[in-house]
Structure 1
Amino acid sequence: MEALILNNKFVHLHVHTEYSLLDGAIKIKDLVSRAKEWDMGAVAVTDHGVMFGAIEFYYECMKQGIKPIMGCEVYVDPKGHTRREGQGGNYHLLLLAEDEEGYRNLVKLVSIANVEGFYYKPRVDYDLLSKYSKGLIASSACLAGEVPSLILSGRYDEAKEKALLYRDIFGEGNFYLEIMSNGLSEQAVANKHVIELARKANIPLLATNDAHYLESSDADWHEILLCVQTNSTVNSKNRFQFGSKEFYLRSPVEMWNIFGDELSDALHNTVDISERCNVKLEFGQYMLPEYKVPEGETLESYLALKAQEGLARRFGGREIPQEYIKRMEYELGVIKQMGFAGYFLIVQDFINAAKERGIPVGPGRGSAAGSLVAYALRITEIDPIKYNLLFERFLNPERISMPDIDTDISDKRRDEVIDYVVEKYGRDKVAQIITFDRMKSRAAVRDVGRALDMPYPDVDKVAKLIPFNVSSIEEALELSHELKALYDGNREVKQLLDYASHIEGIARHCSQHAAGVVISPEPLVNIVPLKAINGTQIVTQYPMEPLEKLGLVKMDFLGLRTLSMIEETLKNIAKNGKKIPDLTQLP
């Protein structure tokens, strides 16, 4: 039997990472490394209702030589994704992208669910699944799936109807009935009837393990994570629990030991699906939005014209020194060579639009201050030649990367600038960028302490012993002798710190990035999944680094309170009848 097992492959197709926030606990790098260790060849990520980690996952797989299978466990509301009645009534459904069209359809489904369909959970419905089914492979998911839920309610005929409905939506051979072994008695009951239904309806089976943590030994601290999610403690009655400690990433050998004797087809199907799934994404191709130039001009010629006109204005009619002319020619040549003329035109456009509207804009920050072109275009207010600043620190032809111009704007009027960009390029092509708040060491200790129902003073004492500048609890134990003595001598403190060391660094919450805005040449929903934050603010589901890998243009609009205070000060000066100083001419 052992030889049979070792000669058969298995691929995990139902996996939740830390981006199933406070529910999944697998770090992407660890997942991919484990798949490589087991010689799986491929692995999937199927987080709950979102695709936050999809590009990070794809990129990590490319680095380690593993095929990435892009997926999501979506929520389906049979009564319609825009329904706003009651709570619940949503069923899980596993979706995997077979090809690029499937990936785009998955992105659209997840976006619609998170923008239009969010009500407790991001939801889709049958009509949406039908509309965007091409290139997708689906399975019935866990016990929260529609088919297993109906089976456990004793509604076998309805379960069969729904299974056939999903098969019709996704097409013959593209819908699977999922079985798993997780130690739950309900799962054993569901498996029995799912297997029977699969045989009767001629729908293929799929073996998964709905992995939420990497090792079986992670189950205890994963339970703490669930307490953090639900704001409960280990002593809370009726708190949310998984009900067993078997939702880990089982090895192929374990999966074959469980299902190999009678259900080898369900294991072989995981490999078949992995061979079918071949999503290829392109990195490094910059996607600049269209900047319309006057007839007869190119982006490069128009940039040169505006830069030369701007430099002439800077000198106020005086003769321009040769040093400036040569520097301008050099910079324009590098910008043209690197293909970034459009970028400069876009940035100068919204900065000058802000200035024309009287919106306070900072004089420039970072390496962009080394560009004479930026100075000529009024992107910055700092003369790089006067202050001997290097252009190569900003743009270097030896290092091809998108320019990064941070723009300081009055925090009270930042939204006006974003509204201008939205109006110019289209609401569907502009979005703010998501960011993730991760658990720091002290916060992790406090969260775990609450979950363990420990007295607050005891937890607070331990948390305060962690130095502010450490990167981990492990490092804190090396630096703080008092903390190490408590750890070694107190069993409760040891458990507290051990659990906290597992959850530190995990994504806890998503929010809108303070500055980042992305502008696309086509509707963003064709490229990245979107999400509504606080009900209305649309953000990308991919954070900044993955967006840059995809080649999307990211702008940083930094809202500064200082600029708002300066604006108020100048208004007060004017009210008092005094002359308003020119801030660009201050010594």
Structure 2
Amino acid sequence: MYLNCKTYYSYRYGTFSTAQLVTEGLEMGAASLALTNINSTQDTWEFYSLCLDAGIKPVLGCEVRNGDVFLYLLLAKNIPGLREINSFLSLHLQTVMPFPGIPSLSGNVWVIYPLGAKAPNQLSTNELIGVQPSEVNKLFTMDISVHSHRFVIRQPVTYKDKKGFNLHRLLRAIDKNILLSKQTSDQVAAEGEMFLSPAKILDAFGRYPAIVTNTLQVIDSCSYSIDLKADKNKKIFTSSLAADKALLEKLAKDGMRSRYGSNKEAHKRVRKELEIIDKLGFNAYFLVTWDIIRYAQSRGFYHVGRGSGANSIVAFCLQITDVDPIELDLYFERFLNPYRASPPDFDIDFSHRDRDEVIDYVFKRYGSDHVALLGMVSTFKHDAIIRELGKVFGLPKQEIDGLVSNPLANFKEDKIQQYIISYGALLQGFPNYASIHPGGMLISEEPITQYTALIMPPKGFATAQIDMFTAEDIGLYKIDILSQRGLGHIKEAIQLVRENKGLSVDIHAIEQFKKDPQVAQKIKKADTIGCFYIESPAMRQLLIKLRCSDYLTLVAASSIIRPGVAQSGMMRQYISRFHQPDSFEYLHPKMKELLEETYGVMVYQEDVIKVAHHFAGIDMGEADILRRAMSGKYRGHDGFDKIKERFFANCRSFGYPDAITEEVWRQIQSFGGYSFSKAHSASFAVESYQSLYLKTYFPLEFMVAVINNEGGFYNRELYFHELRRAGGHVEAPCVNRSDYFTNIRGKEVFIGLRLIKGLQADVASRLLEEREANGPFTGLQDLMTRTAIGIEQLNLLVRIGALRFTGKNKKQLLWEANFLQKRVKEHNKIREALFEDKPLEFTLPELHHTSLEDALDEIELLDYPLCSRFDLAELDNNRFVTVSQLPSLVGKEVEIAGAYVTVKYVRTIKKEIMHFGTFIDCNGDWLDTVHFPDTTRRYPLQGVGVYWMKGRVVDDFGAYSIEVKELKKIGMKKDQLA
């Protein structure tokens, strides 16, 4: 009966979740339901599974619309029909072509038109007309006796009740970006689009039993045969399964000899892993990943293989990863084990400049019919809900801003705000629009449209409508091809070292980097600005607290910095036990046996598996489910509660005290969504070492590469600060010396033209092309004549100092530029000139210019001055202590001045807001501060600038900071700078 049901994956239209739709259908007594979302098959497989579990027959299809115009329903009779629907949708969604009024589809698909759209005698054998119960009276004027077999019941289901209808209207207004009061009836569903009881529907069609019969026959004709649990990834890489096995074995053994020589332990483990990989049918999965890496290497692209895939020695031998699992005693079963039903997971990082080419290769190599980027769902979040509902209700922006910052403000007194709170709660977590997963790619054995329709985002690669959870549920497992700026830093730094110093760097000499004493000293001092993953204030402090100077400690630090470990108190516990390893007792002797390496603290995801299996007696398969549930991938997994019950029951049977069991479970739970596998941390640590090596021996080139690849944790000003600290001479942009990106020659660094705010890219390109073709510019008039640059763009160049080679100050140049503008325009109209005009000479009064004016121009056009912030502040640096003095002042109250870098706000246990600040002092050293709630309230930070602070010096395991009690932003100098 219900051939036209929608969920909230009909974006900004439907109001049911998929589970709610099935539950409502079950309560209504429906024997079958058809899912027909608007131009989408996104939740087809979730719906399919839920229906089977509920004892309801699922019918799969979609509702096709052009904008607000309903065209027809498509219902798949079988799996080939579903593939045809997905292909039909994909073609039009990707090309943005309107859907045709009459689709050309095979007999595997039912096409159901609305009443009146097509005459019954014009229908093909697979075409029908849908009649709503509210439309039955229209049949009285029609002679349908001859064609009664062409009519079926179509009862649309869009919302549950009146409140659901109101929510639907709000969604439609948000989608149209209009006031609710301006909404028209053709923009929303009809008021009766909800579940009617089967009895009411049958009663409405009492005079037309043939239509009821036709409807039931259509439902009966739809049947699907598919094994959702079967692996649907590409199964064969070469020509056969046997050939895949042989090739993988050859590549692994060749790589083993290269990596390990004749190491017997490595040989034994490679053989073991190959057997498991082959038994589980994942040879092709490894070979596809190897093939992607091989292509990237052939193009000179750098990559990092991380995630649990780095637990595998086969992956190490295939150069998918650079993490040695034997060195770190990595747990292969975390990655792949006979109990695990799902395939392994590889995360491959590339530079943002290389990633799209790698993705393009995968599409071309494995065929666009079999490859897609993985989709993702963007949901409504709190602030967006308030803003969107505020707009459709017509609230002024100022009032909306107030609600966002304090959503409960005055809502009891205001009816509109009551509506926003009420319906906002319903919208929380609602799908908002389809998006793209950060890096997931699907490579399927059958055409991808057998499982999902495809869209074409601006990125230009076909993208599945399904997300990673649905994909995994039906046996499609992603390979992650990710973008990461850190690799761009490394790649460009190596290139700059080659160009600037004539040296080649073997960036894969990881073992050499680990043993390098100067690199170790960099880590120990936390001199890590610009280095991947280890430059943030929290990470720098952690490195100091752990006295980190070796690879294994860095691996641990990369994991315990994660929120799951940090927020549970286990990071603090780890640091304390690191410094005093004999000062504590293990929870249980078994925990010492399992976690002695990490002082009894669970640090890695593998620790969850080890503890669940060896401490609590959970089998490997369930231990992995527990680990995946705790990592956030499978929250709500059906078996999770049973595993928890078994965990506690087993612990009781082993005689563990309840308090110990509770504490072990608490530590496991703290991992929720934030923990790393040890291999993942090790992969990060390898890349950190590569960055550290470059920073240690080639700091100028490295920092220029960081700047040119969009920086890292901090803003660009800080990276230029680091450049100067390393001995670089940073120069403002210059039309004769700068390139588009920041360049380096010797120790001289010229800021790139692209960093000038407001300078158009085509103007910068024209300047550079003209300079390349005809040599440097000789003066202002020469520049204007050769490039025909507009006066506004020219003024930007003058103000940033890009014409300082002329020897004239900015005010002179601005005066001359505006005077010459008309003359140069006339000159450029002449197509051929026999002689070039000599530059005009101007006699001007002295136009005074100060370095303070330069700094103000730089702040406006670059976002930061090229001098120190302290040079601009109205203060006497001699009255303040410096960071270097803090170790001798622990416990004392001091005054210090710091230039603001960044801040991190957190909530205390009492839900009060406090923050941690990061500054640099007048010597350029890093200053960390703590601002408790009272200080945060009384002395809020006010953005960039220099601050006077008073507070107490604190020593936390060698990391010095100031607990700030008072704070004041210092004004800028008003007089002329020297």
TM-score bin, normalised by smaller chain: 0.7 to 0.9
- The root-mean-square deviation of aligned C-alpha atoms, in Å, is 2.7
- 1:334 Cα deviation (Å)? 1.1
Q: Does 1:419 align with 2:376?
A: no
Could you tell me how far apart the structure 2 residues matched to 1:339 and 1:235 are? 59
- 1:203 Cα deviation (Å)? 4.0
**SS of the counterpart of 1:537?**
coil
The verdict on how the C-alpha distance between 1:197 and 1:357 changes in structure 2, with shifts beyond 3 A counting, is: farther
- 1:136 Cα deviation (Å)? 2.1
The verdict on how the C-alpha distance between 1:368 and 1:101 changes in structure 2, with shifts beyond 3 A counting, is: closer
**SS of the counterpart of 1:423?**
helix
Conserved? CA contact 1:408–1:557, under 8 Å: yes
Please show how residues 346-361 of structure 1 align to structure 2 within 5 Å. Answer: 346-361=288-303
Q: Does 1:450 align with 2:407?
A: no
Tell me the amino acid that sits aligned with residue 148 of structure 1.
G
The equivalent of 1:140 in structure 2 is 113
Q: Using the aligned pairs only, state the percent identity.
A: 27
The one of 142, 155, 158 equivalent to 1:209 is 155
- 1:402 Cα deviation (Å)? 1.0
- 1:351 Cα deviation (Å)? 1.0
The one of 448, 451, 459 equivalent to 2:400 is 459
Q: Does 1:272 align with 2:262?
A: no
- 1:357 Cα deviation (Å)? 1.4
The equivalent of 1:333 in structure 2 is 275
Q: Does 1:319 align with 2:265?
A: no
Tell me the amino acid that sits aligned with residue 82 of structure 2.
Y
Could you tell me how far apart the structure 2 residues matched to 1:35 and 1:106 are? 24
* Cα shift readout 1:248-292 (whole Å, capped 9, x = no counterpart): 2223244345x0443454445433332222123221222343655
Could you tell me how far apart the structure 2 residues matched to 1:277 and 1:417 are? 40
Q: TM-score, normalised by structure 1?
A: 0.80
Please show how residues 378-527 of structure 1 align to structure 2 within 5 Å. Answer: 378-465=319-406, 483=408, 486-527=410-451
Tell me the amino acid that sits aligned with residue 282 of structure 2.
F
Please show how residues 356-367 of structure 1 align to structure 2 within 5 Å. Answer: 356-362=298-304, 364-367=305-308
**SS of the counterpart of 1:563?**
helix
Conserved? CA contact 1:113–1:124, under 8 Å: no
Conserved? CA contact 2:29–2:198, under 8 Å: no
Tell me the amino acid that sits aligned with residue 396 of structure 1.
N
The equivalent of 2:197 in structure 1 is 251
The one of 113, 116, 121 equivalent to 1:164 is 121
Tell me the amino acid that sits aligned with residue 121 of structure 2.
L
**SS of the counterpart of 2:329?**
coil
Could you tell me how far apart the structure 2 residues matched to 1:283 and 1:62 are? 12
The verdict on how the C-alpha distance between 1:194 and 1:414 changes in structure 2, with shifts beyond 3 A counting, is: farther
The equivalent of 1:179 in structure 2 is 131
The equivalent of 1:469 in structure 2 is none
**SS of the counterpart of 1:47?**
strand
The equivalent of 2:179 in structure 1 is 233
- 1:371 Cα deviation (Å)? 0.8
Conserved? CA contact 2:148–2:211, under 8 Å: no
Tell me the amino acid that sits aligned with residue 557 of structure 1.
I
The one of 58, 64, 86 equivalent to 1:107 is 86
Could you tell me how far apart the structure 2 residues matched to 1:244 and 1:106 are? 26
- 1:488 Cα deviation (Å)? 4.4
The equivalent of 1:30 in structure 2 is 20
Could you tell me how far apart the structure 1 residues matched to 2:65 and 2:199 are? 31
Tell me the amino acid that sits aligned with residue 274 of structure 1.
I
- 1:426 Cα deviation (Å)? 2.0
* Cα shift readout 1:505-537 (whole Å, capped 9, x = no counterpart): 222111232201111234333443222223943
Q: Which runs of 5+ in 1 are unaligned?
A: 1-10, 77-86, 142-146, 150-158, 467-482
Conserved? CA contact 1:405–1:555, under 8 Å: yes
Q: Does 1:57 align with 2:47?
A: yes
**SS of the counterpart of 1:558?**
strand
- 1:345 Cα deviation (Å)? 1.0
Q: Does 1:561 align with 2:481?
A: no
Could you tell me how far apart the structure 2 residues matched to 1:428 and 1:460 are? 47
The verdict on how the C-alpha distance between 1:292 and 1:338 changes in structure 2, with shifts beyond 3 A counting, is: closer
- 1:452 Cα deviation (Å)? 0.9
Could you tell me how far apart the structure 2 residues matched to 1:494 and 1:237 are? 21
* Cα shift readout 1:275-327 (whole Å, capped 9, x = no counterpart): 22212322122234365548996222221111111011113xx432x221221
- 1:405 Cα deviation (Å)? 0.5
- 1:26 Cα deviation (Å)? 1.9
Q: Which structure is richer in relative contact order (CA contacts within 8 A, separation 6 or more)?
A: 1
Conserved? CA contact 1:434–1:513, under 8 Å: yes
The equivalent of 1:579 in structure 2 is 503
- 1:102 Cα deviation (Å)? 2.3
Q: Does 1:16 align with 2:21?
A: no
- 1:503 Cα deviation (Å)? 2.1
Conserved? CA contact 1:177–1:194, under 8 Å: no
**SS of the counterpart of 1:224?**
helix
Please show how residues 117-128 of structure 1 align to structure 2 within 5 Å. Answer: 118-119=96-97, 121=98, 123-124=99-100, 126=102, 128=103
Conserved? CA contact 1:195–1:205, under 8 Å: no
The equivalent of 2:252 in structure 1 is 307
The verdict on how the C-alpha distance between 1:292 and 1:537 changes in structure 2, with shifts beyond 3 A counting, is: closer
* Cα shift readout 1:219-263 (whole Å, capped 9, x = no counterpart): 112111110010001132758543753222223244345x04434
Conserved? CA contact 2:86–2:449, under 8 Å: yes
Q: TM-score, normalised by structure 2?
A: 0.49
The equivalent of 1:345 in structure 2 is 287
Could you tell me how far apart the structure 2 residues matched to 1:197 and 1:570 are? 80
The one of 523, 530, 535 equivalent to 2:454 is 530
The verdict on how the C-alpha distance between 1:570 and 1:193 changes in structure 2, with shifts beyond 3 A counting, is: same
The verdict on how the C-alpha distance between 1:297 and 1:193 changes in structure 2, with shifts beyond 3 A counting, is: closer
The verdict on how the C-alpha distance between 1:380 and 1:66 changes in structure 2, with shifts beyond 3 A counting, is: same
Could you tell me how far apart the structure 1 residues matched to 2:459 and 2:358 are? 21
**SS of the counterpart of 2:303?**
coil
**SS of the counterpart of 1:400?**
coil
Q: Which runs of 5+ in 2 are unaligned?
A: 515-978
Larger CA Rg, structure 1 vs 2: 2
Could you tell me how far apart the structure 1 residues matched to 2:300 and 2:156 are? 55
Could you tell me how far apart the structure 2 residues matched to 1:41 and 1:109 are? 28
**SS of the counterpart of 2:152?**
strand
* Cα shift readout 1:462-502 (whole Å, capped 9, x = no counterpart): 22236xxxxxxxxxxxxxxxx3x844454332211111122
Conserved? CA contact 1:70–1:279, under 8 Å: no
**SS of the counterpart of 2:438?**
strand
Conserved? CA contact 2:393–2:416, under 8 Å: no
**SS of the counterpart of 1:305?**
helix
Could you tell me how far apart the structure 1 residues matched to 2:489 and 2:110 are? 55
The equivalent of 1:224 in structure 2 is 170
Could you tell me how far apart the structure 2 residues matched to 1:221 and 1:551 are? 35
Conserved? CA contact 1:219–1:246, under 8 Å: no
Could you tell me how far apart the structure 2 residues matched to 1:549 and 1:432 are? 17
Tell me the amino acid that sits aligned with residue 108 of structure 1.
S
The one of 353, 372, 376 equivalent to 2:313 is 372
The verdict on how the C-alpha distance between 1:350 and 1:195 changes in structure 2, with shifts beyond 3 A counting, is: farther
Conserved? CA contact 1:291–1:345, under 8 Å: no
Could you tell me how far apart the structure 2 residues matched to 1:242 and 1:294 are? 53
* Cα shift readout 1:392-413 (whole Å, capped 9, x = no counterpart): 0000111221111111111111
* Cα shift readout 1:51-77 (whole Å, capped 9, x = no counterpart): 12212211222232221100112248x
**SS of the counterpart of 1:576?**
helix
